[in-house]
Amino acid sequence: MHPLFAAEIIGLDVRDPSPAVVDAVNAAMAEHAVVVIRDQDITDEEQIAFSRRFGPLELPPHMGLKGFGRRRIHPALYEVSNLDANGDFLPPEDLRHAGNRANEEFHTDSSFNALPTKWSLLSARIVPPEGADTLYTDTRAAWDELPAVLKEKAQNAVAEHYFWKTRGRAGFSNITEDMRRAMPAVQHPVVRVIPESGRTALYLGNHATHIVGWPVEEGEKFIKEINEFCTQPQFVYAHRWRPFDFVLWDNRCALHRATPYDLFKYKRDLRRTTINESGPEISSTDALGIPPPQ
């Protein structure tokens, strides 16, 4: 689907429990990083069952805050939509719009978690007729083309990633201490090797705030430079959603962002599972020992 990465698997049914399906998907993901499977009219439970074949689920955080517990969909899924609990449009003042706006910046899911993220798997149930594409970029290919001076700087760099950075820019104006404690900043190496392919990738995106141990302005400039290099057109695949598309991507080497659409004219209902490389099925807030809201 792109000269450098992203492929479509034709004829696969994610409800097929055979080991051949797992082998085909693993091989495709190792090579292409983004995989599209069309015409998968699946339930939440079927999406979860398929996802668990590749790793433990990363469960959505509850933040310890009331309001995060209201669910229109299965509680193990992340909701990517403009709909309320009744399937109607969210009102303009709803803060979930800020989360959607934050997704319009290039990022990788869950880089702000200490949990070892692996893939995201996104099921399209309702898609707008225009807008709301998803752009993906391959940071393995970007690493291969990165100038030597930047490779040298990146090699031992560690970036801090913070959930509230993009949310704050998108409209969360009142970030409380409880919210900060629920989603604290975490640190990840900028360069990593993807075990399934052996390829080197860059791990940044717009959740990254600074480089640990560097002067702040130098780190911010470096993050901006790397992110801009990775998101040049030659590294980007634009996915135009069709109903019942099922798209998988490797969070360790693929940045992505949504494009805008008319939030109050067209309904959008996408549902995401995210899996980790290892560990228990747990949310980031449960991993921190934060009790759910009473």
Domain boundaries, the chain: 7-287
Predicted pLDDT at 69: 46
Kindly report the number of other CB atoms within 10 A of residue 85's CB atom.
Answer: 10
Predicted pLDDT at 116: 92
Phi, psi of 11 (to 5 degrees): 90, 5
Predicted pLDDT at 1: 97
Predicted pLDDT at 190: 98
Predicted pLDDT at 67: 55
CA within 13 Å, CB half, 190: 27
Predicted pLDDT at 65: 61
3-class SS of residue 272: strand
Q: Which residues make Cβ contacts (< 8 Å) with residue 149, sequence separation at least 6? A: none
> Which positions of the chain have pLDDT values less than 70?
64-71, 170-172, 294
Distance CA 271, CA 276 (A): 17
Predicted pLDDT at 178: 84
Query: Which CATH code, of 3.30.210.10, 3.30.70.1060, 3.40.640.10, 3.60.130.10, is assigned to 7-287?
Result: 3.60.130.10
Predicted pLDDT at 94: 86
pTM above 0.85, yes or no: yes
| Residue among 13, 35, 18, 17 nearest 26 (CA) | 35
Q: Which residues make Cβ contacts (< 8 Å) with residue 120, sequence separation at least 6? A: 109, 248, 249, 251, 272, 273, 274, 275
* Token pair in block for residue 113: 């978690």
pLDDT in tens, 35-92: 999 999 999 999 999 999 999 999 999 876 665 545 689 999 999 999 999 999 999 9
For residue 40, give Cα distances in angstroms to 126, 254, 271. Answer: 12, 22, 13
Rounded-to-10 torsion of CA 151, 228, 130, 101: 110
Kindly report the number of other CB atoms within 10 A of residue 269's CB atom.
Answer: 18
